[in-house]
Amino acid sequence: MVGSAIVRRLQAEGFFNLILKTRSTLDLTNQQAVTDFFQEEKPEYVFLAAARVGGIAANQNYPADFLYENLMIQNNVIQQSYESGVKKLMFLGSSCIYPKLAPQPIKEEYLLTGALEPTNEAYSLAKIVGLKLCETYRKQCGCDFISVMPTNLYGPGDNYDLENSHVLPALLRKFYEAVRDGKDEVVIWGTGKPRREFLHVDDLAEACYFLMQNYDGEYSLNIGTGKDISILELAELIKKLTGFEGEIIHDTSKPDGTPRKRLDISRIRELGWEAKISLQEGVKQVYMDKFLGD
């Protein structure tokens, strides 16, 4: 999802000298394969968006996969970017790197000041290591490697698998299928009280393009909207959008995850960037394209 959005943004700006590989043609967890790729292609700029990602269920069920695969991807790409003399690298992390009970809104300096959310600890640890790799290569080797921490993302190319997806695409699918199948209830995980911030992936791509040109600082930058919404409010928004007339049922046997996660975006705002796509506008467009496009 993220990589495709960045490609669309670069192409819209007139860049067509892009080096693109799919998972089937380049396994980023394979050190030799990554070494060969960098030696043959010699990229000048790298957007490191590749990762093993998923929602609460996927993180709980496959923690070893999330930790191992993400560490390998990051280690291989960052090391080879250094060895091959890449001019600039951007590492994309995640807002889940911050402590579970971090003060709100979450500032970049809150990293490593408290315990992580247990349901996605493995993924969070991997992303923290990636951020620190960029910091240390910059400090020790003088590399222009920067890190950004996006909030929860949605948009074209999202994963709608109910077992492994994030909350927004999962809710879109649940409500769409409930309307299609004439169901009278939709079940959502937990209490619905946790609050989340959502950013359209096209806004993220614009931010990444902007920062690759305008930021070379030592510290990571948050990317978000600065606004959050409860899971129940999100469900109500999607319920109205889809025309579902039944009930929303809470499965409180499922975990809530982090109580609140809203990023402080003061630093990126000071650089001159802000998100443009509202949540209501973005969710409506995604729903129309994904489920009503035919």
The per-residue pLDDT for range 214-236, each reduced to its tens digit, is 999 999 999 999 999 999 999 99
Tokens matching residue 187: 């079940």
Alpha-carbon gap, residue 198 to 3, rounded angstroms: 18
Average pLDDT, the chain: 95
Residue 166: pLDDT band by 50, 70, 90 thresholds?
confident
Residue 163: pLDDT band by 50, 70, 90 thresholds?
confident
Residue 179: pLDDT band by 50, 70, 90 thresholds?
very high
Q: What is the pLDDT of residues 112-157, one digit of tens each?
A: 999 999 988 999 999 999 999 999 999 999 999 999 999 999 999 9
CATH architecture of 2-291: 3-Layer(aba) Sandwich (3.40)
Q: Please indicate whether residue 58 or residue 159 has the higher confidence score (pLDDT).
A: 159
| Residue 251, strand partner residues | 189
State residue 77's pLDDT score: 98
Query: What residues are annotated to the active site?
Result: 123
What would the mean pLDDT of 34-41 be, rounded to a whole number? Answer: 98
State residue 35's pLDDT score: 98
Judge if pTM exceeds 0.85.
yes
Q: Cis ω on the peptide bond leading into residue 255 (within 30° of 0)?
A: no
Q: Which of 215, 186, 164 is nearest to 60 (CA)?
A: 164
State residue 294's pLDDT score: 53
Alpha carbon separation from 146 to 78, 180, 202, 205, 242 (Å, rounded) = 11, 45, 20, 15, 40
State residue 53's pLDDT score: 84
Alpha-carbon gap, residue 40 to 35, rounded angstroms: 9
CB 230 within 8 A of CB 171: no
Q: What percent of the chain has pLDDT over 90?
A: 88
CB 204 within 8 A of CB 223: yes
Q: What is the pLDDT of residues 66-107, one digit of tens each?
A: 999 999 999 999 999 999 999 999 999 999 999 999 999 999
Residue 288: pLDDT band by 50, 70, 90 thresholds?
very high
